[in-house]
């Protein structure tokens, strides 16, 4: 890739949930665009090792942190380590998220709490920690990874849809609060992706989604990752409190 195309050259970027799927694709795209990359992951050491290998092959030397984004101590330690290593953070991507395909009749309180903790509380904790540096520096970007479920629901588990709608509200409110400090906050809402939520759905549910899209297919993680690069780059310097949905034309 030419230097002119390196939209994140030298930027210090943290991607939560970066060991696989869309998170890994975003981390790799950031590395190809010249960023310094760190990622967090929750449990799967093998996935994290493969992501690290791929990032190294792309020329990056990633910093890797294991733990839950809903754990305030882990979040604090992660940001402190990044500040020691890099002196700060330019871009935070709140990608970590989970879902469970459960009807409300089978949805237990602990299921609700788990999804809300990771998908909403995790974004809040990470954003709060990152903003302490970004506000001092009068610059920074936070990108929240939402989902088409926060905009146009065909059918989605109620706790998952609620969590993504909450993330949309967090994005809008936070963008207005911190914009005066030079920090941008946006939301990227992908549709069903081949290497994402679709993998946990039965084929007939995937087929139903595809049938409702104008493009007639699932999305690819690399397509969404390039949108993340754009939103986190100076090319999108006048975008904040924005919601960019890429769902194939639902």
CA proximity to 86, closest of 175, 13, 191: 13
Tell me what the pLDDT averaged over the chain comes to.
Answer: 93
Q: pTM, whole model, 2 decimals?
A: 0.95
Q: Mean pLDDT throughout 237-245? A: 97
Q: Comparing C-alpha atoms, which of 37, 11, 21, 18 is closest to residue 141? A: 11
Give me the domain span that covers residue 104: 3-246
Query: What's the pLDDT score for residue 193?
Result: 93
> How does pLDDT run across 104-158, given as a tens digit for each residue?
999 899 999 999 999 999 999 999 999 999 999 999 999 999 987 555 556 778 9
By annotation, the residues acting in catalysis are 160
Q: Which pLDDT does position 149 carry in this prediction?
A: 59
CATH of the domain at 61: 3.40.50.720
Mean pLDDT of the 151-170 span: 84
Which is more confident, 224 or 209? 224
Long-range contacts of 48-52 (CB under 8 A, 24+ apart): 48/19, 50/19, 50/20, 51/18, 51/19, 51/20, 51/24, 51/27
Give the Cα separation of 16 and 194 in Å (integer).
20
How far is CA 213 from each of CA 132, 169, 208, rounded to the nearest angstrom? 41, 25, 9
Q: What is the pLDDT of residues 59-109, one digit of tens each?
A: 999 999 999 999 999 999 999 999 999 999 999 999 999 888 888 999 899
Residue 80: closest CA among 128, 130, 122, 117: 130
Give the count of domains, the chain.
1
User: Quick check: 146 and 243 in contact, CB under 8 A?
Assistant: yes
């Amino acid at each position: 890739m030419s230097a002119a195309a390196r939209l994140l050259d030298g930027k210090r970027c943290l991607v939560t949930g970066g060991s696989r799927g869309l998170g890994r694709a975003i981390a790799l795209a950031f590395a190809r665009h010249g960023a310094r990359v760190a990622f967090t992951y929750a449990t799967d050491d093998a996935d994290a090792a493969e992501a690290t290998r791929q990032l190294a092959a792309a020329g990056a030397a990633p910093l890797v942190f294991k733990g839950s984004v809903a754990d305030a101590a882990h979040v604090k330690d992660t940001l402190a380590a990044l500040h020691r290593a890099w002196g700060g953070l330019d871009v935070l991507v709140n990608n970590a998220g989970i879902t469970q395909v459960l009807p409300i009749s089978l949805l237990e309180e602990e299921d609700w709490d788990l999804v809300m903790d990771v998908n909403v509380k995790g974004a809040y904790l990470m954003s709060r920690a990152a903003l302490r540096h970004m506000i001092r520096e009068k610059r920074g970007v936070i990108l929240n990874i939402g989902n088409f479920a926060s905009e146009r629901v065909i059918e989605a588990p109620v706790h998952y849809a609620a969590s993504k709608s909450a993330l949309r509200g967090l994005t809008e409110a936070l963008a207005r609060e911190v914009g005066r400090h030079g920090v941008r906050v946006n939301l990227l809402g992908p549709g069903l992706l081949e290497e994402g939520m679709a993998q946990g759905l039965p084929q007939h549910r995937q087929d139903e989604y595809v049938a409702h899209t104008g493009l007639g297919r699932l999305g690819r993680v690399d397509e969404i990752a390039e949108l993340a690069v754009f939103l986190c780059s100076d090319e999108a310097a006048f975008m904040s409190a924005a919601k960019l949905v890429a769902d194939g034309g639902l």
